[in-house]
Amino acid sequence: MSNGHTRAEHFPGPLHHPPLTSGEARKHHVPHEHHPKLQHHFDSMDQQLEASTLGMWVFLVTEIMFFGGLFMAYLLYRWANPTAFQEASAHLSKGWGAINTVVLIVSSLTMAMAVRSAQTSAKPKTQVMWLVLTMVFGAAFLGVKYVEYGQKFHDNLVPGPHFVWTGQYPAGAEIFYSLYFCMTGLHAIHMIIGLGIMTVIAIMAWRGSFDARYYTPVEVGGLYWHFVDIVWIFLFPLLYLIGAHYGAGH
Amino acid sequence: MEMTLAAPRVDYLNVRHTVASWLLTKDHKRIGIMYLVVVTIAFFVGGLFASLIRLELATPAGDLVSSDTYNKLFTMHGVAMVFFVLIPAVPAILGNFVLPLMLGAKDVAFPKINLLSWYVFVIGFLFTLYAMITGGVDTGWTFYTPYSSRASSTNVMMTGIGVFITGFSSILTGLNFIVTIHRMRAPGMTWFRLPLFVWAHYATSLIMILGTPVIAITVLLVAAERVLHMGIFDPALGGDPVLFQHLFWFYSHPAVYIMILPAMGVISEIVQTFSRKNIFGYSFIAFSSLAIAIIGFLVWGHHLFVAGQSVYAGLIFSFISFLVAIPSAIKVFNWTATIYKGSVALDSPMLYAFGFIGLFTIGGLTGLFLSAMGLDIHMHDTYFVVAHFHYIMVGGAIMGYLGGLHYWWPKITGRLYSEFWARIAAGLVFVGFNLTFFPQFIAGYLGMPRRYHEYPPELQVWNVMSSAGASILAVGYSLPLVYLVYSLFAGERSPADPWGSRGLEWEIPSPPPTANFEVTPIVTHGTHQYAPSKEVGVV
């Protein structure tokens, strides 16, 4: 260490400095060239990318737990009111739900293409095209959701003092719609945040920030986008499809 | 000493002095200090409420405050202490400062997110403070529904928002630590060379990222019910209030381990340094941290023994709660074995460590009383519970935090404090703490319920002892504020390794330079090498 302080000779400290293991040291300490996007506290671009992707994975774990509380509530109340949930679910539009499912899956594909185009140093225009396509599908999803929510308001299916249910199980149906709005609402908020992230990434891509050496934001944004899609893959059957056979098999 | 150069050395403190250089810093060391300031404020806010509680309870009659005000006092004491002191104290202050140094890293993996988490924390704290100043909140820090979602007319929403926001600060800190420990270790810093403080923070971070989101969604659902009248927890709307208790304790029980595990990490460091011995059973202590984190997620049902939970569920929760005692005991035995035949120096950090080991043991053992279903029915919601968790949280977590603060203070500030006053403070804290909380075990066993501002006159003797102890404790906690701040101006300058600790963070000057290490270090063996290395997994 350059400050040259001394320590008891019999007990060498945990540090030894470069000359001892110079090969290793070079590899870690002197990056071959300093990439402009390399932040000061990382030793290499690889370390930086690995840290960012791990960070996003850890964040997605917290997201799973965040939605997990809602899924727990769903499990409990569906177990307590099985028929009421079917009756309430039958009133959701399976058509809109299915269209939105397809829209989101396609958006996952375009997102994957956006990541790939950055990894392979495709032209900024190509990268931006895939990102914008992803955003278009995301916006389409939200548009459909807006139509659906509008219908629910119109039909007085929003829980609270104005909730009206003409079926057999008004109490259970109200709980179902509470969960429906909480779960799809939280999902929609995540979609909106996703669109914000995509906008930033698209601007960066337009400026030519990404190539095979540096594509961390696209990669990390893509992980987030896929996660939000997967949440919907669970929400769709749990909310829209459980009522498919209501009244038929009983 | 090497510090005889004409020009003062540039370190992270004197590199810049502007306010902006602090508020916009991405330096983990400065962010740690910013947390220290806010947490200290929160500690004295929470302490003020505690003092008022103890003042009221000095007499059996409810004569100082009304019962409504009393409800607010214990609620705000709990909210301030749990969310703004105990949870962030060790990880966000000491962890932020020391963890990257211990790994040989220049910073945490995401310095901007680290700064963001401080702002999130402060915003959450301001919301909560605002709720406190404009009328307070009276639900208890547990926010049980349906009282919180329907009945209470106090500032539940504002407090809930504060807690919700603060939760994200905790998540971001945990996320940062996990990635930092995985990706920022210097070459040669293998998993089994990590200081035990790092292992403890790894386990803590796991709980932070897995548990905190659940309390966040729970608070959101309470808000949806309270504001939008969506039925989730309120039986009148078809909901189930016990679901709230499950979701709440799924986070809030592991949160106890968020408070105690980092303090255990501090104790592992202090015990080695001041016994001049390598830790006894390194890997057992490391893995017991993980075991506590994992088992800690499976015991929440012991808070629901009298909430109508099925007896069979209770039986399993009771059994698993007993299991947590094993990794906790492993730590206590290993610390004791480390001290055994060591050349023990009774410096102030070590005094806190001794306090921790004794008080945590009492807190842990009385926890076994409460995890026994039959006994819990007698003791549930009595002062026995209050005494038990204060032994863990104050006797454990706060003792560990103060020990760590004294231990790393010379590293953080580059100054030595008055050891004489530090020892007196440690003694006062220990005596005051026991006088405050031991009588509460007895009062609780005799049947005094918690959360009441009146009690039968025959319990007064225990309450007077407790209130007297609280006064001593208040002096004990205020002293460090005086001599630590004084040391900033008049303290002797600290050498790099004032305690002879032999850890990576002690290799660099005190206070460290902004970049921590001029060159990324190469690590060849573990910390605190007082004897030839006997490393796990290394030939």
Of A130, A135, A173, give the one whose Cα is nearest residue A155. Answer: A173
Domain that holds residue A185: 52-241
Identify the CA nearest to B117 among candidates B61, B167, B182, B48. B167
Structural Rg of chain A based on CA atoms:
26
- Average pLDDT (B267-278) is 96
Own/partner pairs for B61-65, CB < 8 Å, 24+ apart? B61/B454, B62/B453, B62/B454, B65/B453
What one-letter code names the amino acid at B158? M
Surface of B (206-235) touching A: CB under 8 A: 209-214, 216-218, 220-221, 224, 228-232
**CB distance A29–B184 less than 8 Å?**
no
Give this prediction's pTM. 0.92
Q: Is B527 on the interface with A (CB under 8 A)?
A: yes
Q: Is A151 helix (H, G, I), strand (E, B) or coil?
A: helix
* A9-23, B106-120, B238-252, B440-454: segment of lowest average pLDDT: A9-23
Nearest CA to CA, how far is B527 from chain A (Å)? Answer: 6
- Looking at residue B518, its pLDDT comes to 86
Confirm whether A21 is domain-assigned: no
Please give, rounded to a whole number of angstroms, the shortest distance from the CA of A46 to a CA of chain B: 10
Mean pLDDT value of segment B249-259? 96
Q: How confident is the model at residue A33 (pLDDT cuts 50, 70, 90)?
A: low
Domain for residue A27, yes or no? no
The Cα of A32 is separated from the nearest Cα of chain B by a number of Å equal to: 16
Give the strand pairing for B522-523 and A15-16. Answer: antiparallel
Q: Is residue B26 classed as helix, strand or coil in its secondary structure?
A: coil
B 72-111 near A (Cβ less than 8 A): 105-111
Q: Could you tell me the maximum CA-CA distance found in chain B, to the nearest angstrom? A: 76
Average pLDDT of the residues in A81-102: 95
For tokens 């292992």, the residue is B199
Q: List pLDDT tens digits, range B333-358.
A: 999 999 999 999 999 999 999 999 99
Q: How far apart are the first and last CA of chain A?
A: 80
Mean local confidence (pLDDT), B422-428: 98
Around Cβ B60, how many Cβ atoms within 10 Å? 15
A22 in any annotated domain: no
Beta strands B522-523 and B492-493: pairing type?
unpaired
Residue B6: predicted pLDDT: 55
Looking at the domain assignment, is residue A191 inside a domain? yes
CA distance B274 to B347: 8
Tell me the nearest-neighbour CA distance from B2 into chain A, angstroms. 6
Average pLDDT over residues B463-472: 98
CB contact under 8 A, A51 and B523: no
pLDDT digits (tens, 9 = 90+) for B209-224: 999 999 999 999 999 9
Q: How many CB atoms lie within 10 A of CB A221?
A: 23
For residue A15, give the H/E element and its range.
strand A15-16
Domains of chain B as residue ranges with CATH: 25-507 (1.20.210.10)
CB B470 within 8 A of CB B48: no
pLDDT at B428 over 80: yes
Number of neighbouring beta carbons within 10 Å of residue A94: 14
The three-class DSSP label of residue B413 is helix
- A210 within some domain: yes
Say what the pLDDT of residue B114 is: 97
d(CA A42, CA B100) in angstroms, rounded, equals 12
What percentage of chain B reaches a pLDDT higher than 90?
91
Using CA atoms, how far residue A40 sits from A48, B179, B188, in Å, is 10, 17, 21
Residue that has been written with the tokens 């009298």 in this structure:
B306
- Tell me whether B505 touches chain A (CB under 8 Å): no
Residues B89-143 pLDDT 10s:
999 999 999 999 999 999 999 999 999 999 999 999 999 999 999 999 999 999 9
pLDDT at A243: 87
- pLDDT band per the 50, 70, 90 thresholds, residue B533: low
Maximum CA extent, chain A: 86
Q: How far is CA A167 from CA A77, A172, A244, A249, in A?
A: 18, 10, 16, 17
Residue found by looking up tokens 């919180």 in the block: B148
The stretch B42-56 carries a mean pLDDT of 97
Checking if the pLDDT of B308 tops 80, the result is yes
What pLDDT, on the 0 to 100 scale, is given for residue B1? 44
B515 inside 8 A of chain A by CB: yes
Q: What is the mean pLDDT of residues B474-494?
A: 96
pLDDT for A219 equals: 96
For the segment A189-214, the average pLDDT, to the nearest whole number, is 96
Name the least confident of A29-43, B76-90, B92-106, B150-164. Answer: A29-43
Q: Tell me what percent of the residues of chain B surpass a pLDDT of 70.
A: 97
| Contact B512/A at CB under 8 A | no
Does the beta carbon of B496 lie under 8 angstroms from any beta carbon of chain A? yes
- Is B522 in contact with A21 (Cβ distance < 8 A)? yes
Q: Read off the DSSP letter of residue B491.
A: P
A171 interfacial to chain B (CB closer than 8 Å): yes
What sign results for the dihedral spanned by CA atoms A132, A134, A139, A144?
Answer: positive
A6 within a domain of the structure (yes/no): no
CA B212 to chain centroid, in Å, comes to 15
The DSSP secondary-structure symbol of B363 reads H
Confidence class of residue B534 from pLDDT cuts 50, 70 and 90?
low
Q: What's the domain count of chain A?
A: 1
The answer to whether position A30 is within a domain reads no
Of A1, A14, A73, the CB nearest to B232: A73
How many residue contacts between A and B have a Cβ separation below 8 Å?
A: 177
> Which amino acid belongs to residue A117?
S
The residue type found at B156 is: V
- Each residue's pLDDT tens digit, B156-177: 999 999 999 999 999 999 999 9
- 3 state SS of A163: coil
> Helix A124-154 vs helix A170-206: angle between axes, to the nearest 10 degrees?
160
Q: Has residue A41 been placed in a domain?
A: no
Name the 3-class secondary structure at B203. helix
Name the DSSP class of A120: T
Q: Domain of A168: which CATH number?
A: 1.20.120.80
Distance from CA of B225 to the nearest CA of A (A): 9
